[in-house]
């Protein structure tokens, strides 16, 4: 058994057979964590990995056979391709990407992009569709599949609804302001509601100032280039979202990727950056920016923020925290991963998040020091050129945020935050008892359940829909080729009966890889292949 956290005390065997590691911060005995931090990532079993590769191999062989038949006009090809007179042109598509789309993805395309014709709440209505040509095209039957349990939306606090306090407030603002501003914030599109929203966001986060943007993806991809440039170094988690990756690439900065949630990997890169400086010239970096997420949407893991902040302070770097999935979904007050760990928001230089999930709205925000916000207002492309947020969307954000903060005069928001935490623990425990392999942190409302084999991706989604359960299934290239999964997103709007319906074995119709058994003595972590049962894990000795 190997533990890659420094200064870990001896492992104490507990009566239940689990192994728990307790670490201390030098001689003081004070850890960086004030609560248990439990995550599990079980490696793909060897037999399952072999069978998965065999499945993809068989699909690939049959794909090349079908391409041969299409070239000889024996089988009709439905996919768009270059005309005969353009054969000497540079192809529009890379060969393997096109091959994968028409021969693998197309076989299970019906598992995605299902049209919804209702509010995506705890239950939703889907438009029924059929395909006469094996998912190349879809026909709508005119029927509606009603009452589908929604296990795929990021509606963490249940604010995606068309009735209630938030909906009424948005409707009232629509009558006064209309549905669009038709201008940028710097020209004629700055409303009093925008100002109020940004002040409320800053108060909610506990920072000096905040500013909002109309698109969550652009909040990352357009603001990171405004913060760093040539001569700067970006240290990015290997599982960061595409918006963070794109923003880092557009910035022109040097990018180095550290292993997911692995503080040893991050510290090594920080140390090397300080010692060696820039390539060739060895001059000091102008800035070192660490990019991490609060909750990783494909893994269900939570960032080790206390350790990241400790490293950031020790090596005098800057920290950019993306709380798209954690804001509203973590912490006793719903204030995200900073609230979850009980940290000071001022220790995070750039606090980013989105309104598209917990708040049931659209857009994103950045919070931090007032000087930073003033700089971004004049240098960020999203702030200068993008249209203002729609007034009813702004009001939805204000109303839902006030509800979470308790400023609406009720305890509805706090009750939803608590209900989400309870639903998350209950659902994860049920899946574990059934023997399924699930990833992530115990407190993460994102619950990946491993499927592995390509045939199970489409089969799982279809079988669940037959039972009026809507789920998201994910496979290659969104995940590693041997780690296909179904991703459940828990909501405060889910009732215990709904969660029981999803997890009752006869309803599920699919069986785990092995019978239920007690948790193993060790569970493997992707962030260095070590046991992940902690009480107070720490990173280093001495003052930070």
Residue 336 exposure: Cα atoms within 13 Å on the Cβ side: 31
Q: How many angstroms separate the CA atoms of 182 and 390, rounded?
A: 9
Q: Using CA atoms in the order 9, 13, 14, 16, what is the torsion angle rounded to 10 degrees? A: 140
Residues 6 or more apart whose CB falls under 8 angstroms from that of 276 comprise 282
9 is catalytic: no
What is the value of pTM for the model shown?
0.87
pLDDT of residue 94: 66
* C-alpha angle 436-530-306 in degrees, rounded to nearest 5: 100
pLDDT at 537 over 60: no
pLDDT at 438 over 90: yes
Average pLDDT along the chain: 87
Q: 269-279, pLDDT tens digit by residue?
A: 999 999 999 99
Catalytic residue among 243, 297, 382, 484: 297
Higher-confidence position of 530 and 403: 403
In order of start, what are the domains of the chain with their CATH numbers? Answer: 31-150+411-506 (3.90.1150.10), 165-405 (3.40.640.10)
Q: Which residues pair with 293 in a beta bridge?
A: 322
Least confident segment among 98-102, 225-229, 283-287, 495-499 = 98-102
Catalytic residue among 241, 260, 325, 402: 325
pLDDT of residue 521: 38
Q: How many angstroms separate the CA atoms of 289 and 270, rounded?
A: 10
pLDDT at 98 over 90: no
pLDDT of residue 544: 29
pLDDT of residue 163: 92
357 is catalytic: yes
Catalytic residue among 357, 402, 456, 494: 357
Q: Which residue has 């350790």 as its token pair? A: 307
Q: Which residue has 């090594």 as its token pair? A: 268
Residue 505 pLDDT grade (very low, low, confident, very high; cuts 50, 70, 90): low
Higher-confidence position of 512 and 483: 483
pLDDT at 238 over 60: yes
The percentage of residues in the chain with a pLDDT greater than 70, rounded to a whole number, is: 87
pLDDT of residue 79: 77
Least confident segment among 54-63, 97-106, 128-137 = 97-106
Q: How many angstroms separate the CA atoms of 336 and 202, rounded?
A: 13
Q: Which two tokens stand for residue 309?
A: 């902040």
Q: How many angstroms separate the CA atoms of 169 and 165, rounded?
A: 6
pLDDT at 24 over 60: no
Nearest to 306 by CA among 265, 264, 348: 348
Q: How many angstroms separate the CA atoms of 221 and 217, rounded?
A: 6
Radius of gyration of the chain (CA): 25
């Amino acid at each position: 058994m190997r533990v890659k956290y420094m200064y870990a005390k001896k492992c104490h065997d507990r009566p239940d057979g689990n192994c728990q590691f307790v670490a201390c911060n030098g001689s003081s005995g004070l850890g960086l964590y004030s609560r248990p931090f439990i995550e599990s990532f079980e490696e793909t079993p060897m037999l399952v990995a072999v069978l998965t590769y065999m499945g993809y191999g068989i699909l690939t062989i049959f794909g090349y056979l079908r391409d041969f038949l299409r070239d000889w006009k024996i089988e009709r090809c439905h996919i768009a391709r270059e005309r005969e007179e353009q054969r000497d042109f540079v192809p529009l598509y890379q060969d393997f990407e096109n091959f994968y789309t028409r021969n693998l993805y197309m076989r299970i395309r019906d598992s995605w992009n299902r049209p919804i014709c209702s509010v995506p709440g705890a239950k939703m209505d889907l438009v029924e569709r059929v395909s006469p040509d094996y998912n190349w095209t879809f026909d709508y039957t005119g029927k509606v599949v009603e009452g589908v349990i929604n296990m795929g939306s990021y509606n963490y606090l249940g604010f995606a609804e068309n009735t209630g306090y938030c909906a009424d407030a948005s409707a009232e603002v629509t009558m006064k302001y209309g549905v669009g501003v038709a201008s940028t914030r710097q020209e004629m599109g700055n409303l009093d509601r925008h100002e109020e929203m940004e002040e409320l966001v800053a108060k909610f986060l506990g920072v000096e100032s905040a500013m909002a943007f109309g698109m969550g993806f652009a909040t990352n991809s357009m603001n990171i280039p405004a913060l760093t440039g040539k001569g700067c170094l970006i240290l990015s988690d290997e599982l960061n979202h595409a918006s963070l990756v794109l923003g880092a690439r557009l910035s022109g900065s040097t990018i180095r990727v550290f292993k997911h949630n692995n503080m040893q990997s991050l510290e090594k890169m920080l140390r090397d950056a300080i010692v060696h400086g820039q390539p060739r010239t060895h001059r000091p970096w102008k800035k070192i920016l660490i990019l991490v997420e609060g909750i990783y949407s494909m893994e269900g893991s939570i960032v080790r923020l206390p350790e990241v902040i400790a490293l950031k302070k020790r090596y005098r770097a800057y920290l950019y925290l993306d709380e798209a999935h954690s804001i509203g979904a973590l912490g006793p007050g719903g204030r995200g991963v900073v609230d979850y760990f009980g940290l000071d928001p001022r220790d995070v230089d750039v606090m980013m998040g989105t309104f598209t999930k917990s708040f049931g709205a659209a857009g994103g925000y950045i919070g931090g020091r007032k000087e930073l916000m003033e700089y971004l207002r004049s240098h960020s492309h999203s702030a200068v050129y993008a249209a203002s947020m729609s007034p009813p969307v702004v009001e939805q954000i204000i109303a839902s945020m006030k509800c979470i903060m308790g400023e609406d005069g009720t305890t509805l928001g706090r009750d939803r935050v608590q209900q989400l935490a309870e639903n998350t623990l209950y659902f994860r425990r049920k899946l574990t008892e059934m023997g399924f392999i699930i990833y992530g942190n115990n407190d993460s409302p994102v619950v990946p359940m491993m499927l592995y084999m390509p045939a199970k991706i489409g089969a799982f989604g279809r079988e669940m829909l037959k039972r009026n359960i809507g789920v998201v299934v994910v496979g290659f290239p969104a995940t590693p080729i041997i780690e296909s999964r179904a991703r459940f997103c828990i909501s405060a709007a889910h009732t215990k009966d709904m969660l029981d319906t999803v997890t009752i074995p006869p309803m599920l119709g699919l069986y785990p890889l092995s019978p239920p058994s007690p948790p193993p003595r060790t569970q493997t972590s992707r962030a260095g292949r070590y046991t992940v049962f902690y009480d107070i894990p720490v990173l280093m000795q001495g003052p930070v």
